[in-house]
Amino acid sequence: MSRIAKIALGVLVLLLIAFPLLVNPYTVQVGITTITYSMLGLAFAFSMRVGLPRLDIGAWWGVGGYTTALLMKTGMSFWLTALIGGIIAVILGFLLFSIALPRGMMAFFIFCMVLSMAFYQMFGSVPLFGGWGGILDVPAPTIGSFTFINKPELYYMGLFFLALTLVVYYLLYNSKIGRAWAAISSSLKLARSVGIGVVRYRMANVLIGNFFIALAGSFFVAYYRAAIPTIFSFQAGAIVMVYLIIGGFMHFLTGPILGALIATFIPEFVSRFKGYIEYQSIAIAVIVILILMFLPLGILGWVDQRVKPWLYRRKWYWRISRWGVKEEREIPA
Amino acid sequence: MALLELKSISKNFGKLQAVSNLDLGVTKGEIHSLIGPNGAGKTTVFNVITGFYPATDGKVIFNGEDITKLQPHQIAQRGIARSFQQSFFFMWSTVLENVLIGFHMNCRAGALKEFLHTDCARKTDREARKQALEIIELMGLSRQKYELPGNLPHGHQRALGVSIALACNPTLLLLDEPVTGMNPTETKEMVERIRKIRDKGITIILVEHTMKVVMDISDRITVLNYGHKIVEGLPDEIKQNKEVIEAYLGREEEEDAA
């Protein structure tokens, strides 16, 4: 990576870390929701890597959230509840997906939709989950004697979970498993004919995704201090696919984060001017329509296709990017 | 000993009988061609052997093992690889990466070992790369190894399809119309390559329409018509067989009449 790119990246990371200190507390809250939604968006992109658009994210988000809510009320440590929530999501996912996965992408798609709605109903109707009012007054997470109560503290906790998700996804994408996944999404028949057990690899993928979706659920409940069914609705889980469209649908790690940023902050901004909450949905719809019309490959796709080649043709770009890079030629004595 | 045996294989799609009662034996080390007019069921036979279609009836026995009910990836792991009539490739990866995928996937039961990037995995990475480059060299794609398959001309895409199949280190290679759409020079080169593949010890079943190639390269030929085997034997015998000639010419007469 060129020196200038390293500096830019460093500045970005610094901004991310300094964010709570630079803005008012309400905006930090928006930042926390953005982090949660980007984790969900990353999970959607994760399943797209094996050619499966999953609409069940709301369900597993709820599994993690309610596990944390219920278990923390009995006094368990937040971190343990998060782990347990993830494990439950994986086991339950395995049992349920064993029915749908062998039947193909379409069956899986519809199954996920139904699953999400069924879980939503379950969270609302079954008394264990507190009914439609949900579970309130969930205690705040702690490490030792430190309690995560203030928004900036929760923001950093969120960054931790986001970073964890990104690292694991990145390692997996670049492993042999990741290459098998890429093969599956690229050409199903060919992947089968070179010995890739498609169902097996897909199952591994969605189960890993389940774990991290549940983790996002646990984190969100820790921040919100309550678990209410309407948070984990089908629509809330399904909307995250929009992030991939906005950010760039071939960019599985950066796309959803960029998309989440845009789809969360712009509607917020709009609602401040217009003052109607309904305008938020309209804002997202307008953004998506504009992207599909003008930048069909998403913002990062557009950058790859148009901006980068344009940039590479500018002399000043090369001068800047070479700045500070030592010449690697040895001058013989 | 027969490497591959088809015993009374039948495949129908509802009322359409694509293959009826086919008996086929392929011996190790031979090039066995499957020919017949369009619609005779040749690609269906390939799909049944490789598990993409479940056989309606009959058995497929490979190396003494009954593989009839196995899934495509399991059959691939046992050493049967194929190329497709319509060249399939992984369009977002380079030619080299396309071939590498075959290496990494075949016969690897333990996915966890691979994820952990162990030292053993890294060494086999180097081995795989070396062998992949050898295959690319053999199939004449050396100059295109960093190209995207979508940018390649048709003939090279076909060669890529064969390369991907070879990367699985197969004992048996099924080639579905490898020279279709190639000019005479490309065809001659491909025939030479097929011979070299056979010389490496890989048994080959070939489906082709170009009679010259079939007669030139085959050790034995099986002729299908409407899903039935009409005759099997040496190229010279087949050339002169009355039924075969009728099957091909008979079709032409029907087309003339229509």
Mark yes or no for CB contact A190/B89 under 8 Å.
yes
Structural domain includes residue A290: no
Extract long-range pairs of A6-11: CB within 8 Å, 24+ residues apart.
Answer: none
Q: What contacts A299, CB < 8 A, 6 or more positions away? A: A246, A247, A248, A258, A259, A262, A291
Helical spans, DSSP H, in A188-253: 188-193, 198-224, 234-238, 241-247
Higher pLDDT, B109 or A64: A64
Mark yes or no for CB contact B71/A197 under 8 Å.
yes
Structural domain includes residue A5: no
Assigned token pair, A196: 């890739």
Q: What is the pLDDT of residues B154-181, one digit of tens each?
A: 889 999 999 999 998 899 999 999 998 8
CB-count exposure of residue B78 (10 Å: 0-12, 13-18, 19+)? middle
Return the residue of B nearest to A174 by Cα. B115
- Residues 95-124 (B) with a CB less than 8 A from some CB of A: 101-102, 104-108, 111, 114-115, 117, 121
pLDDT confidence bin for A65, thresholds 50/70/90: very high
Helical spans, DSSP H, in B152-220: 154-166, 184-199, 211-217
Backbone region of residue B136 per phi and psi (left: phi > 0; alpha: psi in -120 to 50; beta: other values): alpha
Name the minimum distance, in Å, from the CA of B208 to any CA of chain A.
20
The vertex-A97 CA angle with A95 and A101, nearest 5°, equals 140
Report for A203-212, A231-240, A301-310, B138-147: range of highest mean pLDDT:
A203-212
Structural domain includes residue A69: yes
Position B175, amino acid: L
The domain total for chain A is 1
Rounded to whole angstroms, the Cα distance separating A28 from A21 reads: 9
Return the residue of B nearest to A189 by Cα. B88
Whether pLDDT at B258 is above 50: no
Structural domain includes residue A50: yes
pLDDT at B2: 83
Residues of chain B positioned with their CB less than 8 A from the CB of A189: 52, 84, 88
Q: Which of A177, A186, A195 sits opposite B168 (nearest CB)?
A: A195
Structural domain includes residue A213: yes
Q: Which of B50, B88, B105 sits opposite A180 (nearest CB)?
A: B105
Structural domain includes residue A4: no
Q: What is the pLDDT of residues B38-90, one digit of tens each?
A: 888 899 999 999 999 999 999 999 998 999 999 999 999 888 999 998 889 99
Cβ–Cβ under 8 Å, residues A286 and A263: no
Name the minimum distance, in Å, from the CA of B31 to any CA of chain A.
21
Q: Which of B148, B214, B160, B221 has the alpha carbon at shortest distance from B187?
A: B214
pLDDT confidence bin for B107, thresholds 50/70/90: very low
pLDDT at A314: 87
Tell me the CA distances in angstroms from A205 to A182, A260, A286, B48, B162, one per residue in order: 11, 22, 32, 29, 29
Instruction: Please tell me whether residue A202 adopts helix, strand or coil conformation.
Output: helix
Q: For testing the chain B interface, which of A193, A201, A251 should be mutated: the one with the most B CBs within 10 Å?
A: A193
Position B226, amino acid: Y
Overall average pLDDT of the A5-10 stretch:
83
Mark yes or no for CB contact A179/B101 under 8 Å.
yes
Whether pLDDT at B218 is above 60: yes
Residues of chain A positioned with their CB less than 8 A from the CB of B91: 186-187
User: What ipTM, to 2 d.p.?
Assistant: 0.83
Overall average pLDDT of the A210-233 stretch:
95
Cβ–Cβ under 8 Å, residues A54 and A272: no
Residue A221's domain spans which residues? 19-239
Mark yes or no for CB contact B76/A176 under 8 Å.
no
Structural domain includes residue A186: yes
Overall average pLDDT of the A140-151 stretch:
88
Structural domain includes residue A247: no
Instruction: Please tell me whether residue B201 adopts helix, strand or coil conformation.
Output: coil
Least confident interval from A29-33, A157-161, B11-15, B219-223: B11-15
